[in-house]
Amino acid sequence: MDYKKAGVDIEAGYKSVELMKKYVQKTMRPEVLGGIGGFSGAFSLESFSKMKSPTLVSGTDGVGTKLKLAFLLDKHDTIGIDCVAMCVNDIACAGGEPLFFLDYIACGKNYPEKIAQIVKGVATGCEEAGAALIGGETAEMPGFYPEDEYDLAGFAVGIVDKDDMITGESVHAGDVLIGLPSSGVHSNGFSLVRKVFPMDRSRLERYEESLGTSLGEVLITPTRIYVKQLRQLKSAGITIKACSHVTGGGFYENIPRMLPEGARAVILKDSYKVPEIFKLIMTKGDIEEKVMYNTYNMGIGMVMAITASESNKAIEVLSKAGESPLIIGEIRSGEKGVDIV
């Protein structure tokens, strides 16, 4: 008896590391110390010494049951982008610059090529966010996970000067709400999606007229990363007074999190076109509209509160950068919360 006969293939682990190195290397920043494969990842903060009050911000998350879709479609090269996005978008909401990321993959059986594809997606997300992938863990756990399944989670650390943190404290009536479009369902609400649609490969790969492609293609589309967009606003001298990453809990849970007491967000439903995938979920599942807005991003992945006098400039900056910003509402006085009208 040995470890391999018990279900853990150490050699497969070595091969996974070798296959993923080319992807990881692309994410390196000059602050990273040491190479790939050490017991820990080291990151120098020397280049941030000029900050008045450097403050670390962090985020950790997973992909949830969207993984089931990756298993069914046997597509594993984008799910890592979702994992990174869920962490770095939260950091960006605080005004932070993501510095580095670590991933954790637990699987029933280590298939090196599959693990490398997962990490390829993680690395792609890190590149997009400007974060270095400085470490990770692949745990082979036979008997705990089915052989063809895995779980994926991540952890990110960023930095921001304390005076530049986005806190929402200065939000007041009259501020404009600017939304940045999502790429679709992102990484939340998939437990409901799996109840609405039969989860078999033939159904997922079937062309869906209203979507203009297959259902699976739309659902597997990775979460957008908004780090650079927020950074561009900051570079242009525009103050983001509050920011909300619209994830699980949709509009009703996430938008109030960015507000101070006495401020109420008003979202205008007709200010933008809700993507067809949400209409399809709502229709096929016979789901009430309020439940949809309480579960999904409904086409808006990030919401920012900007003072009215800077809103046009913010739209201009984002548009020139290739974004499609939308004015979706405003802040009014009232009980802390959100109205969708």
Contact between residue 154 and residue 87 where contact means Cβ atoms under 8 Å apart? yes
| DSSP 8-state class, residue 38 | S
Instruction: Give me the phi and psi of 255, to 5 degrees please.
Output: -65, -40
Check residue 130 and give left, alpha or beta (phi > 0: left; psi -120 to 50: alpha).
Answer: left
Q: Which residues of 94-110 are buried (b: 16+ CB within 10 A; e: fewer)?
A: bbbbbbbbbbbbbbbbb
Contact between residue 235 and residue 318 where contact means Cβ atoms under 8 Å apart? no
Q: What does the pLDDT profile of the chain (341 residues) look like in tens digits?
A: 666 767 777 888 889 888 899 999 999 999 999 877 778 899 999 999 999 999 999 999 999 999 999 999 999 999 999 999 999 999 999 999 999 999 999 999 999 999 999 999 999 999 999 999 999 999 999 999 999 999 999 999 999 999 999 999 999 999 999 999 999 999 999 999 999 999 999 999 999 999 999 999 999 999 999 999 999 999 999 999 999 999 999 999 999 999 999 999 999 999 999 999 999 999 999 999 999 999 999 999 999 999 999 999 999 999 999 999 999 999 999 999 999 99
- The ranges assigned to domains in the chain are 10-164, 176-340
In this prediction, residue 2 carries a pLDDT of 63
User: What CATH code is assigned to 176-340?
Assistant: 3.90.650.10
Contact between residue 156 and residue 123 where contact means Cβ atoms under 8 Å apart? no
Name the class of domain 10-164. Answer: alpha beta
Helix (H) or strand (E) holding 213: strand 213-214
In this prediction, residue 9 carries a pLDDT of 75
Strand partners, 132: 100
pTM of the model: 0.95
Compute the distance between CA of residue 136 and CA of residue 37 in angstroms, rounded to an integer.
9
The secondary structure of 145-203 as a DSSP string is: B-TT-EEEEEEEEEEEEGGG---STT--TTPEEEEEE-SSSTTS-HHHHHHHS---HHH
Neighbours of 136 (CB within 10 A): 21
